[in-house]
Amino acid sequence: MKHILLVLPLAVLLFGCPEKEEPGCEPDSLPQDTCSAEELATVEVAGVWHGLGEDATGNRLVTVTSFHDPAAPKMEGRELDLVDFTERFFLRSATTSSGGRVEQRAFTGCRAPDPRTVQGNFQICVDGVERAKGTFEMKRIVRLAGEEEASGLTFEGEARVTQGTPLDVFVHNGYAYVASGAGGMNVFNVTDPAHPALEHQFNRSDSLGNADYFYDVWVHQDVLYVASRFNGLLYFDLAVSPIPSTELNRQPSPPEAIRSIYVDPVSNRLLANSIDSGHVLIFNVANPRSPVLLGRFAAADLGLSNYPHHSVLEGDRIYGAYGGLGLVAASIAQPGVPTQLGNAASPLEPARNSHALAAATFGTTPWVFEISEGWGGHVRALDFTTPTAPVPAGEYATRPEVSANQVDRVGNRLYLAYHQDGVRILDITNPAAPVLAGHFNAWSDTSATRGNFFYEGVTAVHAARDASGLVYALESERGLIVLREVL
């Protein structure tokens, strides 16, 4: 799974301290001279809202607010210490550090262009003293206007993931293998797509007995590969039984935290992306039960320290998604001595986080499809004919307040995990102009468990490699969802 946590830093680190210390974060301490009580009275105080605050220097603050109980809304899953909807739209959160300092974040809504949008001003205070201020906009996260539940996809069945958080899925011989973070692995029998059935759950632990964290999963020639936090690359033999019971081995030694995996079945090479070393580990898996480490690729330091969230292989080229560092290309014609070819910096707007990738060659042109994650996360299509100067040629986005997350490519189609905007299929017959070919909306904001985290919704997608047309998705609350593509 190509999935990262959104961590909101302390305001004093994010915004710095002003020269003049003024009290703030009280209902009357924010500007209200342009507020419209009439507009604010129309606001739908319900469901889940995503917000973006920005100060005068461009520093940003992302918020998630749930109004399942309008009298006691929550922000990032925590109760607010002051709420006032009687004469104004006012929200305030408060957290106490281990040192006893109290940080407050206050939001005063002033305008509501529509019932699902609030605009206004925010302050961040430490021990009651203003440390930062700016403007914000919040949006209620509901289905995109004009969209039905599905188009080009039909619903087959679903099953809850009862252990851990669903992060990544791979389907092989009628079984769905779900990497579930601290929950380890959930294995579902999906031979009847309408009735997925949980058959097995397992995890590993480190030398101290702590439960491992499974990020990603891939199956190649009856071998299940798992990217884990404490035990590196784990692999299991599925030839005897589809239930992973025979652990073959672990690599590398000593273990490194592996964030994600990619297997190229044509060249029999596996890429494992290390959080610890920041390397892309290159394995030969011609004998899938005995991977051979061929080499490591370390991206040149371009100003940021980061690790590859995801990487793909197209021919003898590696493309790696390095978060804020951007997208890096390298040659592994000699895998023992990989050579960096070039990079594409993440766009400053609207997202700065290169997160997941797909690659393909159309004609003689190498294309890379980059998924950026965060506020404004979306899809970019880049022509990598000249890797020292890749050309951004096309984009696809739904809306800034919902982020893309993960991608799977089969032929000329991209299958996207798009968080609250569900599963999306793009036709990339013309790679410079991706076209929406289908979607499935899995999101509903009515459950009280929604609204704790920006990256809720669909977290992973896997398209069947056979002629079944089945598409498997993971959803943060609903679990495993089986869909069928209607061509």
Angle, CA 405 vertex, CA 399 and CA 409 arms, to 5°:
110
For residues 415 and 408, the answer to whether their CB atoms sit within 8 Å is yes
Q: How far is CA 193 from the centre of its chain?
A: 26
Q: Is 38 helix (H, G, I), strand (E, B) or coil?
A: helix
Q: What is the pTM of this model?
A: 0.93
* Closest by Cα among 220, 222, 224, 219 to 202: 224
* Closest by Cα among 297, 318, 321, 307 to 274: 307
How many whole angstroms separate alpha carbon 47 and alpha carbon 61?
20
What's the pLDDT at 383? 96
What's the pLDDT at 347? 60
Other Cβ atoms within 10 Å of 69 Cβ, number: 11
The two three-digit tokens of residue 15, written as one number? 């915004």
Other Cβ atoms within 10 Å of 333 Cβ, number: 10
How many whole angstroms separate alpha carbon 188 and alpha carbon 342?
41
For residues 302 and 326, the answer to whether their CB atoms sit within 8 Å is yes
How many whole angstroms separate alpha carbon 316 and alpha carbon 292?
17
What's the pLDDT at 14? 43
How many whole angstroms separate alpha carbon 312 and alpha carbon 398?
24
What's the pLDDT at 55? 92
The two three-digit tokens of residue 137, written as one number? 């906009």
Q: What is the strand order of the sheet 458-463 is part of?
A: 153-159, 479-485, 470-475, 458-463
What's the pLDDT at 349? 53
How many whole angstroms separate alpha carbon 377 and alpha carbon 416?
12
DSSP state of 247: E
What's the pLDDT at 348? 55
How many whole angstroms separate alpha carbon 227 and alpha carbon 273?
9
Q: Report phi then psi at 123, rounded to 5.
A: -135, 150
Look-up of token digits 């273990």: 255
- Counting every residue written for the chain, the total comes to 487
What's the pLDDT at 350? 53
Number of H-type helices and E-type strands within the chain:
2, 38
What's the pLDDT at 4? 35
**pLDDT tens by residue, the chain, 487 residues:** 333 333 343 343 344 444 456 678 998 888 777 789 999 999 999 999 999 999 988 899 999 999 999 889 999 999 999 999 887 899 999 999 888 999 999 999 999 999 999 999 999 999 999 999 999 999 999 999 999 999 999 999 999 999 999 999 999 999 999 999 999 999 999 999 999 999 999 999 877 788 999 999 999 999 999 999 999 999 999 998 999 988 999 999 999 999 999 999 999 999 999 999 999 999 999 999 999 999 999 998 655 557 999 999 999 999 999 988 889 999 999 999 999 999 887 665 555 689 999 999 999 999 999 999 999 999 999 999 999 999 999 999 999 999 999 999 999 999 999 999 999 999 999 999 999 999 999 999 988 889 999 999 999 999 999 999 999 999 999 999 999 999 7
DSSP state of 12: H
How many whole angstroms separate alpha carbon 356 and alpha carbon 310?
5
How many whole angstroms separate alpha carbon 187 and alpha carbon 405?
22
Segment (H or E) for 168: strand 168-172
What's the pLDDT at 428? 98
